[in-house]
Amino acid sequence: MITTIAGTGVFDCRGDGGPAIDAAFGGAISVAVDMASNIYVVDMGCDKVRRISISGIITTVAGDEDTTYSGDGGPATLAGLHQPTGVAVDRTGNVYIADNLSNCIRKVNTSGIISTIAGTGVGGYNGDNIPATSAQTNAPYDVAVDTLGNVYIVEFGDGRVRKVDTAGIITTVAGNGSFFYYADGLPATAIGLFPVVGVAIDGTGNLYISCNYNTSISRDTADQIYKVNASGVIHKIAGTDQGGYSGDGSPATAALLSYPYKTVVDKTGNLYIADAGNNRIRKIDTSGIITTFAGNGVSSFSGDGGPALNCELYWPSGIAFDAFDNMYIADASNERVRLITKVSMGVNELTGIKTLAVYPNPAAKELTITSTNNISSIVICNLLGQTVCTQTYNAEKVQVDVTGFPTGGLLCQDQWYRSEKVDKVVAIRHEQGLSQKEIAGLLEVTKGFIGQVESLKTPSTYSVNHLNRIAYEFKCSVHDLIPSTPIIESDWDLT
């Protein structure tokens, strides 16, 4: 399921200190996630990098909207960035920024202090095997960090991918500054890569390089994805020298891409591509077959609360996974950050009919309920099956104010199909933000408890373990979850 977690769609530079969903971006083009599930967004037009905490609050971590290259040695929020385009986070929480028009790579440490780790501020190329801070870099567009702490830099202006090792020495790992790609199977440093815009690295040391469209230079590498193995040999793995959209269900090497930007690899080795010109996210599985993972190709905004394949994206240029395999998309021209949840968010958990969905989940103030059919009324019950809300509608999408509802699990049912087996969805009511792991755990125990309720007859037989677990996760007492006089409704068939 896809939802929006940040941005209103308005082009602006505002919202710090408040909910990310109410913030405005000036060009959300790249995204990264740290080990604690904080999200980092490159706000290119605002010359900032911003962070969305796990509680959903957005702040600035680097940049003060002054485009002058400045600030090293001081707080990153007072530093000048000039059109940043890429971001990465290492395992210890240091943030790396491709400061594109400043021609350097910046680092923000965990204390919030900024420094330059590569580049002199002058665009160009003056050699390898020297300290990275003495090396010229040419319009760095993307940045990645491997598990050892080596930093990889995409140089858009020079057609190279370079590496800064943990000793601070810079080398070239792909591209030679020329315009032409000669053949597969050559050393990656023996060929030309123009224009290169993205780099990702998997757990075994393979690099994935995105080359974009540019008719004024060369189409040899345009709209294609390349893999450099741990031995330094390069092969094309997706796209042809023609831009377009085709190939789903077939080998990725014969598929057409359009302006591919960032890529990311999941834990099992599948590669995902931000196919920006096609307004889609594409997936290449481990056997080399390409499919569409998200987006229907229409350059617009829609689809929240539904399947990612049916949603509308508009120039998605950045993608990242968190530790729980949820995908974050920098939906650039929509000025939003979207979330595709792999961990189920409570949708269609209790029956096999796929009609009812709820979001956001958990919800603090308002719960949106959607159905593939018109909803005549919604019944919402607490953990014990007690009705806390019944509202009448005639729509496929309704909003329910849950401000006064009890904290904990809620069971929602579409009243339209009361006489039939219907979808029931578990929603979570909570005042504070939860991580994906917490949500998954709450849904699991809540479903188990609600399922148990149907077969129980007296309060004394309720599962203490379930109640204690839910109360612990919600930081409340068991008495907050259970009314004094439980009512079990016989028509909630949860077996």
What angle in degrees, to the nearest 10, is found between the helix axes of 436-453 and 464-474?
Answer: 150
Does the pLDDT of residue 449 top 80, yes or no? no
List pLDDT tens digits, range 401-431: 888 776 666 767 765 544 344 555 666 666 5
DSSP for 206-274?
A: -EEEEE---TTT-SSSTTEEEEE-TTSBEEEEE--SSBS-B-TTEEGGG-BBSSEEEEEE-TTS-EEEE
- Most confident listed range (329-333, 338-342, 407-411): 329-333
pLDDT of residue 366: 80
Return the beta strands (E) in 7-135 as ranges.
28-33, 39-43, 48-52, 58-62, 84-89, 95-99, 104-108, 114-118, 130-131
Token couple for 130: 């020297």
**Residue 317 in this model has a pLDDT that exceeds 60:** yes
Unique residue bearing structure tokens 């400045």: 70
Separation of first and last alpha carbons in the chain: 25
| CB 197, CB 156: distance < 8 Å | yes
Residue 353's pLDDT is 38
Tokens 């990275």 -> residue: 132
Q: Could you tell me the pTM of the whole model? A: 0.76
The kind and range of the H/E element at 395 are strand 387-401
pLDDT tens by residue, 135-181 = 999 999 999 999 999 999 999 999 999 999 999 999 999 999 887 77
- Say how many C-beta atoms besides its own lie within 10 A of residue 446's C-beta: 24
Reply yes or no: is the peptide bond before residue 307 cis, omega within 30 of 0.
Answer: no
Residue 479 scores a pLDDT above 70: no
Q: How confident is the model at residue 369 (pLDDT cuts 50, 70, 90)?
A: confident
